[in-house]
Chains A and B, each alone.
Chain A
Amino acid sequence: MSTVDWKNYTPVLLPDIKDLHKIDVYTKNGGYKALKSVLTDKKKWEGPKAVIEEVKKANIRGRGGAGFNAGLKWSFMPPADGGPRYLACNGDESEPGTFKDRKIFEYNPHVFIEGALIAAYAMEITTIYVYIRGEYKTYIDMMEKAISDAYDKGYIGKNILGSTFSVDFYVHSGAGAYICGEETSMLESLEGKRGYPRVKPPFPAQKGLWGRPTTINNIETLSHVTGVINNGADWFSSIGAPTHPGPVLYGISGHVNNPGVYELPSGVPILDLIEVAGGMRNGKILKAIIPGGSSTPVLRADQLDGITMDSDSLRTVGSMLGTAGMVVMDEDTDMVDVLWRIAHFYHHESCGQCTPCREGTGWLEKILLKIKNGDGEVRDLDLLLDLTTQMEGRTICALADAAAWPVRFTINRFRDEFEARCKKKSHAVA
């Protein structure tokens, strides 16, 4: 296995530059060069299609969790017909364990704005909305300021940098709903409705916001576009794991000494990443990790040898990269408690539209609470596993899957611990 040279990596999204969030500092450091290039360097960029091709080639796999090639997604947009077309930037990040996009809003908003503008040019978008979760009030204010500065400097608005390209850019604040991170639910929320995910087809590229072609990309994904345009697709795809390339914002939380967001290449070994975050807190022993947000299957410490943070490697042990928000758990962690809390989250956040999710998430939580309280029986574990099959793949969006996976994999991978808790009751009765 080739190892990724992450030790000599220098961050590009979140470099150590003072006041980079200020537009002048950003431009002084090469900011908006990429935008200028695609808009004015006709020799290098023969129109929007060329930009899409370059991004497709870079293979930026969506950083919101699904891991789909961003350029390929862009190419699904139908030809422009003169009507409005939208780019909806997904800054709803709400999956437990995920707290990376806020760093871009805070420290380098313009790298995102520039990436979004390039995306808009490439797809002939007329309006960009950035949907930010309502709890991020501070970052919403910061983004409003950054966008307004970019308008003032002529990077957004009519005839950007003297070109024929015009686009508007607005912030839309959420108001407390995890489901709005699901792309079609986000569109509903943007349209001013309850955040119910939409049935697909039609896909957003065909019928998105107000029935018009729309692309949805994650904030980090769009931020990478700027680097791809500046340095080329090959530069990007040579970083990190070959099948899931590029820099990744790893959010590391839980029982480590220095939790936080670290920008490193994809494919960093999980055990190294824990060391990057200062190692285990209080000298405790590692018990488990959740690699990429609460929905990604938990991994026991003994499964982690040689496993790296990219989709291919994680698949070999039955997990996923998700949002690369890694939660680290030490030896004292009660997996029953953890799983119950995750189930509580999905129960609370289910929009209630589809039967299996609306009813299933509540049932999962209630059984887990029973087990947590020592009233469970071993057969409850099998019921839980059964329920996950009744929920998975049966709903409009993936929230039911996201709720089912942790239950299935945590029970399967820590069955003894769950059974021990269930047997407490049997003893008490005896």
Chain B
Amino acid sequence: MPEIFIDGHRYEFEGEHKVLQFIQDLGKEVPFFCYHPSMTAPANCRQCMVKAGQYMKSRETGEYEVDENGDRVIRWFPKLQTSCNLMAADGMVILTQETDEQVKRAQKDNLELILINHPLDCPICDQAGECPLQIQTYKYGPEGSRFEVKKVHKPKRIQLGPRVVLDAERCINCTRCTRFTQEISKTHQLTITSRGDKNYPTTAPGREFDDPYSLNTVDICPVGALTSADFRFKARVWEMNQTPSIDITNGKGTNIDLWTRDNLILRVTPRFNADVNDHWMPDAGREAYKIFNENRISRPQQKLDGEKVLSSWNNAIATLSEQIEDTDNTKILVIASPHASVEENYALNKYTNLLGLNTPVFTPHIEEGTGDGFLLSDDVAPNTNGCRLLGFKELNKSGICKEIQKAELVLILNDNLVDRSVITADQLKNKFVAVFATNNSETSEVADLVIPITTAAEHAASYVNVDGRIQRTYRAKETKYTNRRIDLEMSEGRLDRYGTNFDNWVTEDNKIDCMPMWEIVNNLADATGIDINFRGGREIMDEIASSVSNFSGVSFAAMDEHAGIQLSIKKETSTSK
């Protein structure tokens, strides 16, 4: 097998590898700015310099040549090489900054040059704390600057588009953003303008950078040149905690991170998953952070004489179980939801099964024209395939309406059926409607009983995307009943870790008074004398895997290990576009 020697260690490799990527994959490091694994390598930042050479092999024997001391003979490349575009070759010798002074010096030299025209405004720059330039300058840069002449001035605070702001002075011309619009989103909206040290990225004059994937350029910008118009100046990154999750605004199941401070989700960024979304996500999904914070249902609500009033949990559970007991089983309609997780749907289903009710029904949420052949599908619900694989009855709009007509008691699991015009408020009149919901909506508005449940940011649960991949979320945000310090799976930011609930940066109101669906099911079962005792998403998934063949082999541990698991789905029912 071909071998390569990096800083004196021997590694075997197969296939084609760029040296920089190979080093990174080993968990080692060479500093860089312009390289991005999903785009072409222009080698323009010149930061990832290494010393490269080749062990000489005898033409006749194929053996390595040795010198008089018995050491292998190395033919060094005449110049230092950028490792980002250097292809690994058999017998190649690489020295990085770890072992070679010349390389260390070259990297330091380059950083000094990058910094001469870069403003020293880290204290007011959004990128600070997650800035490759800042981090790598600390690690590999010069201690001071010898630059005593005037910096180049360029446009600042330019609203490039609705979501992206440019500070051209911070730009180091890595061209990641322009390459993104050329190679990934293919809108070709950005170009570098001017020449030399006056270079900076821009749109065509008078045109907006309204690329539906524009915010990815903010993510990949290695400095603070491109920042998010929405997130700008909202939080320092070190104050937030970062939790892996899944985009619930579309069926594609884009892997994301939720960034939380004081139990508010402040931004959403894409999380790498080679099988789903690579490094990218649509701008649309980023706006979703608001649904975790705003317009939430906190505490159960009940309609009394047409007035919505807050209710206690005990009262809400008692009311609902009485309604169920008082209604003929055939007159009870349970509507499951493609907007709820597999575990939530399963829990509700198990309860209704044991009660002897009809199998839950659901209706997919398709918005024609949303799909773009990239990271958006027409199916805008995160778990349509989950409902199918659980064996729920899939109905179209008229099917649902027919079922509702027959019912006296309607239970709706988190699905804004009125808002999305599947049913009308009128159709629900004279029936007892109970919804389990995360946010206030026109649907919750008409309900007689509203039971607040956790969002994807508050529970660990799974969703099956349009391609049949099951992936799960983690708890990012505390509710009234959870606690980061006890729940070892929850991440902690600096503010969470240092301080107490009595500190003035802690806002108790940001914790919603809601419960995971399965806990509500536990309570309902208890009230109805049924034996159900779910402990959490992880255990529910184990139960599903052993009882529903479609999910066999699925577990949180397996999903964590493989970044999701591909399930087999019937392609014809898939709404992937």
Contacts and interface: CB of A to CB of B under 8 A. Distances in A.
Contact of A355 (B45, B78, B79, B150): B45
Contact of A367 (B78, B106, B149): B149
Most buried by B among A350, A352, A359, A394: A359
Secondary structure call for the A interface = helix
A396 B173 CA distance: 15
B397 interface: no
Given A199-B42, A367-B149, A383-B146, A356 B196 contact: no
Interface stretch (B112-120, B416-424, B432-440): B112-120
A358 B114 CA distance: 9
A363 B116 contact: yes
Contacts of B95: none
Contacts of B522: none
Interface string B169-183: 000110000000000
28 contacts: A194-B191, A348-B196, A349-B195, A350-B195, A352-B194, A352-B199, A353-B173, A354-B44, A355-B47, A355-B110, A355-B172, A355-B173, A356-B110, A356-B113, A358-B197, A358-B199, A359-B113, A359-B116, A359-B117, A362-B117, A363-B113, A363-B149, A366-B150, A390-B110, A394-B49, A394-B80, A394-B106, A394-B110
Contacts of A177: 195
A312 B109 CA distance: 33
B356 to A, nearest CB: 68
Contacts of A349: 195-196
A352 B113 contact: no
A420 B45 CA distance: 37
Contacts of B80: 393-394
Contacts of B42: 196, 199, 353
Interface string B185-208: 000000110111111000000000
Interface in B69-126: 78-80, 85, 106, 109-110, 112-114, 116-117
Contacts of B79: 393-394
A370 B199 contact: no
B461 interface: no
A367 B147 CA distance: 9
Nearest to A353: B44
A174 interface: no
Report the contact-size class of chain B (Cβ under 8 Å from the partner): 35 or more
Contacts of B47: 355
Given A352-B198, A390-B113, 16 more contacts: A196-B42, A199-B43, A199-B85, A349-B196, A352-B192, A354-B45, A355-B114, A355-B173, A356-B113, A358-B197, A359-B197, A362-B196, A370-B149, A383-B146, A389-B109, A394-B110
Interface size range on A against B = 20 to 34
A390 B195 contact: no
A92 B194 CA distance: 20
Interface in A384-410: 389-390, 393-396
B149 A361 contact: no
A366 B197 CA distance: 12
B261 interface: no
A9 to B, nearest CB: 37
Nearest to B197: A362
B299 interface: no
Contacts of B152: 362
A389 B112 CA distance: 13
Contacts of A348: 196
A133 to B, nearest CB: 16
Contacts of B198: 352
Contact of B196 (A350, A370, A383): A350
Contacts of A395: 46
Contacts of A355: 44-47, 110, 113-114, 172-173
Contacts of A354: 44-46
Nearest to B78: A393
Q: Which of A196, A348, A363, A396 has the most CB of B within 10 A?
A: A363
A383 B149 CA distance: 13
Given A199-B42, A366-B150, A394-B80, A350 B197 contact: yes
A349 B117 CA distance: 18
Interface string B32-73: 000000000111111101000000000000000000000000
A199 B191 CA distance: 19
Question: Closest 3 A-B residue pairs measured CB to CB?
Answer: A352-B199, A366-B149, A390-B109
Contacts of B46: 354-356, 394-395
A233 to B, nearest CB: 30
Q: Which of B47, B117, B196 has the most CB of A within 10 A?
A: B196
A129 to B, nearest CB: 23
Nearest to A349: B196
A400 to B, nearest CB: 9
Contact of B195 (A199, A352, A370): A352
Contacts of A51: none
A361 B114 contact: no
Nearest to A362: B197
A390 B172 CA distance: 17
A351 interface: yes
